[in-house]
Amino acid sequence: MDLVVFLALTLSCLILLSLWRQSSGRGKLPPGPTPLPIIGNFLQIDVKNISQSFTNFSKAYGPVFTLYLGSKPTVILHGYEAVKEALIDRGEEFAGRGSFPMAEKIIKGFVPSHFFRRCF
C-alpha cells in the first residue's frame, strides 16, 4: 500500500511540475487553448480537418495563437492579414530560422552546421 501512495504522490508532483513549467513560459506567447501535460493540445486538434480546427481556434483566440505540440509551444499565424504582417510588414523581426534537431541529427558529420542553418 505504501508503494501505491508513493507512486501516486510522485505522479501528482510530476504533473504539477509540468503544469507549472508550461504556465511560467506562457507569459511571452500569444493566447491559446490550455494544453494538457506532456501531450499538449493534440486531443483538441481534429487531424482529419486541421484547417477547420485552426479556424475555430482563430475565432476564439485571434489570428495569432499558441498551440502546444507535445511540450513544445508553436505559434500559429492564421489568415492572410496575420501572415502578411509577420512576413512583409515585420520581416526583419521574423527573419531568423529555427533549429531542426531531427534533421541536424540525421546529417551530423556530413554537412557543416553553419551551412545547414543557411539552407533550411
Nearest to 71 by CA among 12, 23, 10: 23
pTM above 0.85, yes or no: no
Mean pLDDT of the chain: 81
Are the C-beta atoms of 40 and 71 separated by less than 8 Å? yes
Ranges 14-28, 48-62, 78-92: which has the least confidence? 14-28
* Per-residue pLDDT band at 61 (split at 50, 70, 90): very high
